[in-house]
């Protein structure tokens, strides 16, 4: 505890401390902790937002899990997670490494890579809505200019491409986020380790695979969790670009939750979907951290 000798009136100090803490505490309890408890209750009720929620036990969950659309959204979210993990992390790590070996234009490159991540996902979604437009979009135009006529299509209404068309902007946007995190990691590796490896004749590629990646194992683990929980929440870009359509072809769990709760006024079912998302994230985080820690590398 505090070892303040100068404050004589202990009671007064406790009061002041409580007063300092209370605004944050009230906001946190009222808008984060209480809502979690309420979520659990709402998910067990049938409720349209007006009147009283009617308790129906686990029937919301039964209904969700029986619905094919939920599982399509679930599958889309899983794909989003997998593609994010497979693209954002390796690219982030590779470019962080390249950048850490660079002196010329270092800050310029870093600023440029991170730029998309600070822009609103709504703006990014709107941008790609234009880029991928079948008739006027510059993406098709570019393909035509490159002589790839056969590849052009209406990316956002073709049911085979629409999911990837809404997924790509999000993945592209946040690669820079991982570059920044990994950059700090790479720079924390002691220079003499890299230098001595180089003296031993290791080339940059070997140093990356044999030294950088193993030494950043913990940080990579953190990023896997960040990337996973971030992708479970995917909403904005897809919602702006297609609203999840056609049907639920490009819909994620977060969009499904929003639509059920606020468009269809099924707040109980919407909350139940939100809870499955939360459980999904927490389970992954816990299991992954267990595995990651149990085989943790000492150095």
Stretch that binds another protein, among 151-159, 160-168, 274-282, 291-299 (CB under 8 A): 274-282
Q: 25 phi and psi, to 5 degrees?
A: -65, -45
Q: What b/e sequence results for 65-83 when a residue is b if at least 16 CB atoms lie within 10 Å of its CB, and e otherwise?
A: eeeeebebbbebbeebbeb
**By C-beta, is 74 or 113 nearer to another protein?**
113
Q: What is the spatial distance between Cα 273 and Cα 43, in angstroms, rounded to a whole number?
A: 8
Tell me the closest approach of the beta carbon of residue 33 to another protein, in angstroms.
Answer: 8
Q: 46 phi and psi, to 5 degrees?
A: -105, 125
Q: If binding is defined by CB under 8 A, does position 262 make contact with another protein?
A: yes
Q: What is the spatial distance between Cα 53 and Cα 41, in angstroms, rounded to a whole number?
A: 9
**By C-beta, is 13 or 159 nearer to another protein?**
13
- Residues from 28 through 47 that contact another protein (CB under 8 A): 28, 30-32, 34-36, 38-39, 42
Q: What is the spatial distance between Cα 168 and Cα 190, in angstroms, rounded to a whole number?
A: 35
Two tokens, residue 125? 């979604």
Q: If binding is defined by CB under 8 A, does position 52 make contact with another protein?
A: no
Tell me the closest approach of the beta carbon of residue 215 to another protein, in angstroms.
Answer: 14
Q: If binding is defined by CB under 8 A, does position 226 make contact with another protein?
A: yes
Total number of residues binding another protein (CB under 8 A)?
Answer: 95
Residue in 82, 148, 198, 265 binding another protein, rule: CB under 8 A: 198
Tell me the closest approach of the beta carbon of residue 176 to another protein, in angstroms.
Answer: 7
**By C-beta, is 25 or 151 nearer to another protein?**
25
Residue in 154, 213, 278, 292 binding another protein, rule: CB under 8 A: 278
Whether the CB-CB separation of 257 and 273 falls below 8 Å is answered with: yes
- Residues from 168 through 197 that contact another protein (CB under 8 A): 172, 176-177, 180-181, 184-185
**Environment class of 180 (CB within 10 Å of its CB; exposed 0-12, middle 13-18, buried 19+):** middle
Q: If binding is defined by CB under 8 A, does position 209 make contact with another protein?
A: no
Angle, to 10 degrees, between the axis of helix 68-100 and the axis of helix 106-118?
A: 170
Q: If binding is defined by CB under 8 A, does position 98 make contact with another protein?
A: yes
Stretch that binds another protein, among 63-71, 72-80, 113-121, 157-165 (CB under 8 A): 113-121
Tell me the closest approach of the beta carbon of residue 12 to another protein, in angstroms.
Answer: 9
Angle at 141 between CA 139 and CA 145, to 5 degrees: 120
- Residues from 236 through 255 that contact another protein (CB under 8 A): 236, 239-240, 254
Q: Which of 83, 84, 113 is nearest to 97 (CA)?
A: 113
Residue in 87, 96, 238, 257 binding another protein, rule: CB under 8 A: 257
Helix, strand, or coil (residue 54): strand
- Residues from 121 through 140 that contact another protein (CB under 8 A): 121-123, 126-131, 136, 138
Q: 55 phi and psi, to 5 degrees?
A: -70, 125
Residue in 60, 81, 89, 95 binding another protein, rule: CB under 8 A: 95
């Amino acid at each position: 505890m505090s070892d303040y000798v100068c404050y004589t009136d202990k009671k007064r100090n406790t009061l002041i401390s409580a007063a300092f803490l209370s605004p944050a505490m009230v906001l946190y309890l009222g808008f984060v902790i209480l809502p979690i408890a309420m979520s659990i209750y709402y998910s067990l009720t049938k409720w349209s937002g007006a009147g009283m929620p009617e308790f129906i036990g686990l029937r919301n969950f039964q209904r969700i899990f029986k619905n094919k659309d939920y599982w399509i959204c679930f599958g889309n979210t899983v794909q989003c997670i997998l593609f994010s993990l497979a693209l954002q992390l390796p690219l982030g790590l590779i470019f962080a490494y390249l950048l850490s070996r660079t002196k010329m234009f270092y800050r310029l490159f870093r600023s440029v890579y991170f730029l998309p991540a600070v822009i609103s996902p709504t703006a990014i979604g709107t941008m790609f809505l234009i880029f991928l437009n079948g008739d006027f979009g510059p993406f098709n135009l570019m393909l035509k200019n490159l002589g790839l006529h056969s590849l052009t299509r209406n990316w956002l209404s073709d049911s085979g491409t629409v999911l990837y068309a809404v997924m790509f902007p999000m993945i592209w946007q946040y690669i820079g986020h991982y570059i920044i995190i990994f950059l700090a990691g790479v720079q924390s590796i002691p220079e003499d380790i890299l230098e001595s490896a180089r003296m031993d004749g290791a080339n940059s590629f070997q140093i990356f695979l044999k030294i950088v990646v193993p030494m950043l194992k913990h940080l990579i683990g953190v990023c896997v969790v960040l990337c996973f929980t971030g992708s479970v929440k995917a909403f904005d870009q897809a919602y702006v670009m297609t609203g999840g359509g056609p049907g639920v072809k490009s819909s994620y769990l977060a969009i499904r939750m929003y639509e059920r709760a606020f468009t269809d006024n099924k707040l109980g079912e919407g909350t139940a979907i939100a809870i499955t998302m939360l459980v999904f994230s927490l389970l992954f985080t816990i299991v992954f951290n267990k595995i990651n820690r149990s085989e943790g590398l000492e150095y």
